[in-house]
Amino acid sequence: MPELPEVETIRVQLRPRLLDSSIVEAGSHWSAKFTPAMEAVGSEFIDVRRRGKYLIFEVDSGSSPDTSSGNTNNSSGHDLIIHLGMTGRLAVVGDADFDHPHLRAWWRLADGDTFTFHDARRFGRIHWVPRGDYAGIATLAALGPEPFDGEFTAQHLHEAAKRSTRHLKTQILSQRPVAGVGNIYADEAFWLARINPAARHLSKERAARLVDGIRVALRSGLDNGGTTLRDYVDSRGQTGENQHRLYCYGRSGEPCERCGTIMRRRELDGRGTTWCPVCQAR
């Protein structure tokens, strides 16, 4: 699943292309997960933001078609929100293939290009909500702080860990202590911090190390255009490069790059987890 570095890479690429572009036509797959795409007709993109793993397209316009009644609704001040799921891909293309089996939504722009959303496994989702009204999107509304924001501190992470008895990695993946960290970057962060991901308690000193580890792991992903293991490509169709710079994730059976011990793998609350039994001893 695309995590913060992959989603942010796409945001940075799409923002200058979409700003001030108007949507003149739209279509979607029949599933209710994708049909909100059509609400955006008549809107103009005014910003592209990210929150955790969500892309938030701020739009503004006078009115757009109401697909259920044929009337028009005031759509000024709305957010078109896209979660990429496991295999979601966004692009702006000049010649869209509307018959592609994985095309889930599309938005025709006034200049003739088309903004497309492909999703092979259909785990992605599209929402259309009044600007900033995320109460109906539980996972978005409950997100913890962004990892590079000032409120994501060792004290915050220490306090969050005290409120849970779950494994530390599971807590991080819940998105509540911090937003945007998934399985790849969690494994990297715990290795960098020398903390066992199956531990359940976090001292203030280890919390500080984990905050640093999360930021270093994510920064590597951002600097290298994301991590491509199977499906991820950016909005230009390019793979990331961070898969060549992973210290921990996917390296079970290989020697630890820090101490030489053979890395191990286990299922931790249903998620494959790699760690070093020496550097990350419990």
Catalytic residues: 2-3, 53, 271
Count of C-beta atoms within a 10 Å radius of residue 210: 26
Give the C-alpha separation, 119 to 117, whole Å: 7
Give me 77's structure tokens: 């001040």
Beta carbons of 166 and 200 less than 8 angstroms apart: yes
Report the Cα–Cα distance between both ends of the chain, in Å, rounded: 28
Beta carbons of 235 and 242 less than 8 angstroms apart: no
Beta carbons of 40 and 64 less than 8 angstroms apart: yes
Nearest Cα to 106, choosing from 11, 9, 25, 2?
25
